[in-house]
Chains A and B, each alone.
Chain A
Amino acid sequence: MAYNCVVLIKQVPDTKRITGAAMNDDGTVNRAALPAIFNPEDLNALELALQIKDKFGGSITVITMGPPAASAVLRDSLFRGADDAILITDIRCAASDTLATSYILSCAVKKVDYDIVVCGRQAIDGDTAQVGPQLAEKLGIPQITYVEELIELNGKTITARRNIGAGWQQVKTALPALLTVTSDANEPRVAAAKKMMKYKKAHTPIEVEQKTQAENSAADEADIKALVAHKCSELEEKGLLIKQWDLDFVGADLNWCGRGGSPTKVHRIQSVVLAAKESKDVEPNDKAISDMIHELIEDKTIA
C-alpha cells in the first residue's frame, strides 16, 4: 500500500548566530538580519517521509507557512525528493502564536489528501515543540511525538518508537496520524544533483512578482502584472510553479489567525546579557589554587 505524506517545514533564523539586535521592539524577529536555514528537525521529518515513499510509494507534499523567502526551504525539499510544495503566505498570518499557527496549518492540510502528517519535533527559533500536537488535535487524529524510529507501516496502522525521557516506548496507532520527529530518527539525505538542476528554477508566484518588480522598476503596475502572469504560466507548464495559498484560499476563519487569533502575547523581550558577577582571577599556580580551595571550604561551598 502506498502512503501520502504531508511534511510541515519551517524556515528559521540560524539561532547559533543570533543576537538581541535581531529582535524588533514588539518581540517579533527581524528575520532579514539573520541567515535563514531549514529547521534541522524538519529535515529529519522530510527524510522519514522520503524513506516511506522509497519503500511503499505514494507522494510527499511539503507545506510551510512563512514570508516569501520561505520558498527557499520548499525548493530545497524538491531537491531532496518531495513531489509537491505549498507556501502559505499572507500578511494576516503575522504574529501568530502556536495556536493560530496550528489552526492555519490545519486548514491547509485538510485540503491535501494524506495518510501521515510529519512534523519536526521542535523549531529552533520559537523552541516550543507545540505546533505538532496542536495540529494533530485540530485535525482530530492521533499523535506520536518524539519519534526516534519508524518501526513498521502495515495497512492502515503505523508503529513507531518514541523517546519518553528515561527510556523509550513502542506504540502503534491507526492512520491517519501525525508524527513529530527527533534528530535521532535518521540522517537526512542531501539534495540530488539531478533534481537540483530540474527545480533550481522552481518559484512561488510571489518570488516571480518580486523578481519582476526588481528587474522592471520603471514599468507601470499593469505591465508588471501581465508580465508576472505570463512568467507564472510559463513556469506552471514546466511544472516549476510552486503553489502559493493565502488565508482566503485555505478557508481560514480570520478570528483564529494572526495576532488577534493568538491568546499568547509578548509582554517583553530581553536579550540574554551575560552576567559579569563578582569575580576573581586565580593564577594557575599551587598557591593561588590552594587559596581558592581554602576560600571555598571556608564559605562552606565545599563541605
Chain B
Amino acid sequence: MIGVNREGEVWVFAEQHNGQLEDTPIELMSKARWLADTLGVKLAAALLGDNVKDLAAKLIHYGADKVYLIEHPLLEHYQANSYAKAIFDLVHKYEPQIVLYGATITGRDLAPRIASAAKAGLTADCTDLQIGDHTTIKDGQLHKNLLFQIRPAFGGNIIATIINYDRWPQMATVREGVMPMPEPDAARRGEIIEEKAELSQQDLTLEILQEHKRPKKVNLKAARIIVAGGAGVGSKDNFKLIWDLANCLGAAPAATRAAVDLGFIDGDHQVGQTGTTVRPNLYIAVGISGAIQHQAGMSQSQKIVAINNDTEAPIFQIAHYKIVGDLNVVVPKMIKAIKEKS
C-alpha cells in the first residue's frame, strides 16, 4: 500500500502489441503532460515488451520526460498476470502519484489486477481528468491538488468525479478517443530507464493458442465529418442514402446500435457508449433519436446537424442545426445542395 507522495511522477502505461504502440497511450500524453506540468513533476511512460526499445523515442516525442523500459522475453505477448506483476513492482519502486491506462480491453484487463495487488483505487473509463481540491466532510481537512477523475456511470446518465485522497497512486483508465492526439516533436529529448522484471514461466498463466486480428472497417476517430444513420433510415437498402451523403462530403458513414442490430451496416461503424467515441468537425445524425448511449459517443462533435421527423427527439437538444422532416426528403436535398456548391 502506498501513501500520498507529492513528489511522485505522472505515469502512462504505453500499451503496445507486436511492437506497435496503440493510439490510446499517445492520446493520453497531452493530458498527462498537462497534469505533470500543473503538479510540477515529471511525466513518464511505462513501456513493457520484448525488443520494444525503439518505441521509447516515440513516447518522448509525444511528451514523456522519461520512459521506464522493461524488456523480457516473457513479456513479448501481453497477458494480465505477467504484465500486472511487472508494473506492480515498478509502481512499488518509484511510487508515482498518478498512473493512467487506456480503457482498452487490455487496459481494463490489466489495471484492476494491478490496483487489487497495490490495494489502490482505480477509476474506470474516465472521459476527463482535472486537478482540484477536496475537503473531507468528516474532519474538515483540505486535500489539495488531487486528480479529479471524471467519468460517466449509470449507462451515461450521470457524470461522477472520483478522487482518492489517502491511498495512492491515483489510478484511472481513460476512454479511447476522448483526448485529442498531441503533435509529435522529434526534437524532444528524454531519459530511458531500463528496469528488470522478476518473471518466471509460472507467471504466464495463459497459453495463447490462436489470435485473429481484424482491422476495423472504418476509422471513425480520424474522420473530420461523419454521417450517421439510425433505425429511422428504415432498411439496409435505404441506408444507401447515408453512404451517398457521406461520399459527397468525403465523410465516414456511421450508425447507432439500433441500425447495426437491424443489419443496416457493420458494427465497426457504431458510435456510442459501446461503440466508438468520436469528435468530428461535423456530425450529421439522420433518423437517430439521440439516446444517452449514442450521445455518449458523439456529443463532443463541433457541429451537429439532426434530421428527424419527431420534434421531441432528444437529439435536437444537442443539435446546432435542427431539421424536422422526413429524411427521405431532406437527405436528397442536402446531396443536391452540396453538389451545387462544389
Q: Nearest Cβ in chain B — how far from A42, in angstroms?
A: 16
The interface bits of chain B over 209-234 (1 if a CB of A lies within 8 angstroms of the residue's CB, else 0) are: 11111111000000011000000000
CB of A186 within 8 A of chain B? no
Q: Which residue of A lies closest to B331 (CB)?
A: A289
The answer on a CB contact under 8 Å between B321 and A280 is: yes
Residues B164 and A144 in contact, CB atoms below 8 Å apart: no
Q: Is B200 positioned at the interface, with any CB of A under 8 Å from its CB?
A: no
- Interface contact A292-B160, CB-CB below 8 Å: no
Verify if A301 is at the interface (C-beta below 8 Å from B): yes
Bound CA–CA A125/B157 (angstroms): 10
Contact A133 B112 (CB under 8 A): yes
Which residue of A is nearest B119, CB measured?
A99
Asked whether A303 is an interface residue with its Cβ less than 8 Å from the other chain, the reply is: yes
Whether B158 lies near A166 (C-beta < 8 A) is no
**A284's contact among B154, B225, B330, by CB below 8 Å, is which?**
B330
| Contact flag A267-B148 (CB < 8 Å), given A99-B115, A171-B206 | yes
Interface residues of B (CB under 8 A from A): 80-81, 84, 104-106, 108-113, 115-117, 119-125, 132, 134, 146, 148-149, 152-167, 205-216, 224-225, 249-250, 281-282, 292, 295, 299, 302-303, 305, 314, 316-326, 329-330, 333-334, 336-338, 340-341
Given known pairs A133-B113, A144-B206, A281-B322, the reply for A269 and B157 (CB within 8 Å) is: no
> Are A170 and B209 neighbours in the complex by a CB distance under 8 Å?
yes
Chain A residues numbered 278-300 whose CB sits less than 8 Å from any CB in chain B: 278-286, 289-290, 292-294, 296-297
Provide the A158-178 mask, 1 if CB < 8 A to any CB of B, else 0: 010001111111111110000
A163→B320 CA distance, assembly (Å) = 37
B163 in contact with A265 (CB, 8 Å) = yes
Q: Which single residue of chain A is at the shortest CB-CB distance from B122?
A: A130
> Which residues of A from 216 to 266 have beta carbons under 8 Å from B?
256, 262-266
A289 — which chain B residues lie within 8 A by C-beta?
323, 330, 333-334, 337
User: Across the interface, do B317 and A264 meet the contact criterion of CB distance under 8 Å?
Assistant: no
Given A268-B160, A284-B330, A138 and B323 contact (CB-CB distance below 8 Å): no
CB distance from A150 to the nearest CB of B (A): 14
A residues within 8 A CB of B84?
137
User: What are 29 A-to-B residue pairs whose CB atoms are below 8 Å?
Assistant: A13-B154, A15-B157, A18-B155, A19-B157, A125-B155, A127-B124, A129-B112, A133-B108, A133-B112, A167-B212, A167-B214, A168-B211, A170-B210, A170-B211, A172-B206, A263-B121, A264-B123, A265-B165, A267-B146, A269-B159, A272-B157, A279-B320, A279-B321, A283-B325, A284-B325, A286-B333, A290-B337, A290-B340, A293-B337
- Report A127-153 CB contacts with B as 1/0, cut-off 8 Å: 111111110111000111110000000
Which residue of chain B has the shortest Cβ distance to A34 in the bound complex?
B154
Q: Are A130 and B318 in contact (CB under 8 A)?
A: no
A125 & B113 in contact (Cβ 8 Å cutoff): no
CA distance A13 to B322 in the complex (A): 33
Decide if A124 is an interface residue (CB 8 Å cutoff).
yes
> Which residues of chain A are within 8 angstroms of B116 by Cβ–Cβ distance?
99, 102, 133-134, 137-138
B103 to chain A, nearest CB (A): 9
In the assembled complex, which residues on chain B have CB atoms less than 8 Å from the CB atom of A172?
206-207, 209
Q: A145 contacts B122, CB within 8 Å?
A: no
Interface assignment of A155: CB less than 8 Å from any CB of chain B: no
B120 touches A263 (CB 8 A): yes
Residues on A facing B (Cβ under 8 Å): 13, 15-16, 18-20, 23, 27, 29, 97-99, 102, 124-134, 136-138, 142-146, 159, 163-174, 256, 262-272, 274-286, 289-290, 292-294, 296-297, 301-303
Whole-angstrom distance between the Cβ of B213 and the nearest chain A Cβ? 4
Inter-subunit contact B109/A146 (CB<8 Å): yes
Inter-chain contact B210/A293, CB cutoff 8 Å: no
Residues of chain B lying within 8 A (CB to CB) of residue A142: 80-81, 205-206
Q: Which residues of B contact A267 (CB under 8 A)?
A: 132, 134, 146, 148, 161-163
Contact A292 B225 (CB under 8 A): no
Return A113 CB to nearest CB of chain B, in Å.
Answer: 21
Q: How far is the CA of A31 from the CA of B287 in the complex (A)?
A: 34
Least CB distance, B130 to chain A, in whole angstroms: 10
5 closest A-B pairs (Cβ-Cβ)? A284-B325, A263-B121, A15-B155, A128-B124, A142-B205
Q: Complex formed: what's the CA distance from A13 to B161 in Å?
A: 20
Q: Report the separation of the CA atoms of residues A13 and B104 in the bound assembly, to the nearest whole angstrom.
A: 26
Supposing A263-B164, A282-B321 touch, asked if A97 and B121 sit within 8 A by C-beta, the answer is yes
